[in-house]
Structure 1
């Protein structure tokens, strides 16, 4: 299902998906709140990654994958496979802490924010299913953080006091990078 870009004035955002259009008008202070969300998630992920990398014991995801996943999770089989597959455990042992640091740094400095937010949302989606508990409803902190990552990406938070604004304007042969390579809009912003 493709989305359609629509044009709006200052502080107006619109989107059309599957024939349904939505339109909103942001308050001028919205940029500060989007920046705050970007920074909050960046600091949280940087701290989580550094805690794993600087811990006295090397990080290992195997115990969590085999014993920390809620047995009610609809993906329990997938997590069990992950935890019992040695090459995958080794991959996760590197990808999680270094990924969290990279996501955190990207968000803090505002560089490749949409890409960082995508991987942050993907990680939170996996945590959501691993920590599966619906006694109090389908929404929990992992799901809320997933939505925060998606909002950070959707609002182009890297353009708000971030390096993405500078990267997009960098010129190659006199043409701004984002105009020369418009698909970078999926990574920057």
Structure 2
């Protein structure tokens, strides 16, 4: 039994200028929304979690960024990157926390979505090469999976339900 799909074209409600034809094409337009929500919420949560944990920004002590960096230094792929973070653990911790927060918020609202996704990919890459590198087998480390999850958003941006889509729609209407 074959399933029939609509092949007529119509204007997508809520996204003027986007013609949709058929169920598959319609589903493809919405496919990245769950990924955007998951990554956005996760990165906002990660940033806020770091910013509200007073012990995280300490140079030493249980749960601190300094202690974590010292623990992974010899097993990381790029020890020089860890050494750089250890020069100012609190500064590195704040950079990661505010970076995660900015990336998460921009991803959720779809503002400069490709740039935000690129930032998320860079954060995930840096954490994979430092903190998660020693995970064996590799699939136990979650930072590589986050890096791969950011790549579709780097390529596609946020074409639906985003400030980027609203801005593009406005530009099309003014032409």
- TM normalised by structure 1 equals 0.66
**8 Å Cα contact 1:65-1:82 kept in structure 2:** yes
| CA deviations over 1:46-87 (Å, ceiling 9, x no partner) | 0011111222446343222222x263322123313421x13x
- Residues 103 and 117, structure 2, Cα contact 8 Å, conserved in 1: yes
- Structure 1: which 5+ residue stretches go unaligned? 1-9, 11-25, 176-189
Q: Flag as ranges the 4+ runs of structure 1 deviating above 6 A.
A: none
Q: Which residue of 1 aligns with 2:136?
A: 135
Contact 1:70–1:133 (Cα < 8 Å) also in 2: no
Is the Cα–Cα contact under 8 Å of residues 70 and 132 in structure 1 kept in the other structure?
no
Residue pair 2:51, 2:97 contacting (<8 A) in 1 also = yes
Deviations 1:165-189, CA, capped at 9 Å, x for gaps: 1123445xx55xxxxxxxxxxxxxx
- Count of matched residue pairs: 145
Q: Which has the larger helix fraction? A: 2
- C-alpha distance 91-137 of structure 1, shift in aligned 2 (>3 A): closer
Which runs of 5 or more residues in structure 2 are unaligned? 1-8, 10-23, 59-64
Which position in structure 1 is the counterpart of 2:67?
Answer: 63
Q: How does 1:91-170 map to 2 (within 5 A)?
A: 91-130=91-130, 131-133=132-134, 135-137=136-138, 140-156=141-157, 158-170=158-170
The answer to whether the 8 A contact 1:125-1:142 is kept is yes
TM-score (norm 2): 0.70
Pair 1:32–1:168, CA change in 2 (3 A): closer
Which residue of 51, 54, 64 maps to 1:53? 51
Higher relative contact order (CA 8 A, sep 6+): 2
Contact 1:117 1:152 in 2 (8 A): yes
CA contact (8 A) 2:51 2:94 kept: no
Q: CA deviation at 1:90?
A: 4.1
Correspondence list, 1:171-186, <5 A? 171=171, 174=174
User: Taking structure 1 as reference, are residues 138 and 73 closer, same or farther at Cα in structure 2, changes over 3 Å only?
Assistant: farther
Larger Rg: 1 or 2? Answer: 2
Task: Please point out which of 32, 36, 47 is paired with 1:38.
Answer: 36
